Amino acid sequence: MKKPSVLFVCVHNAGRSQMAAAWLRHLAGDRVEVRSAGSEPAEGINPVAVEAMREVGIDITGQTPARLTWDAAEASDVIVTMGCGDACPVFPGKRYEDWQLTDPAGQPLDVVRQVRDEIRQRVVELLAGQRDG
């Protein structure tokens, strides 16, 4: 059986989608293939997101924002978009979830912590839904 794959997409691929991908890797291990991308990738990861994830023992400093590609979307079973609206393309036949989350860009650490914790909860729910799929 092919392992399920999840693609997290936000505009800059510097905060929300990186934190979501890191949580999914952390919680699912190698049971799920994890990708993240942005419609307009930033130069680097949001340092406040890095700090917030470091507080829970997850290191995302080695991640690099990536541009969303047709191939990455085509190869994913579930596509989770975060606040990119029309900038996030739609691929027929995929399972979609749109997570309405505060954009951590320019936010203080306490706000980014809340976003981090909300993302963790949603990833846990996503995994619970994946098991019966």
CA terminus-to-terminus distance, the chain: 12
Residues near 40 by Cβ (< 8 Å), separated by ≥ 6? 11, 12, 87
CA atoms within 13 A on the CB side of 80: 24
CATH class of 5-126: alpha beta
pLDDT of residue 31: 94
pLDDT of residue 123: 97
pLDDT of residue 132: 45
- Cα–Cα distance, 118 to 39 (Å, whole number): 22
* Under-70 pLDDT residues of the chain: 1, 130-133
Which residues are annotated as catalytic? 10, 84, 88
pLDDT of residue 130: 66
pLDDT of residue 20: 98
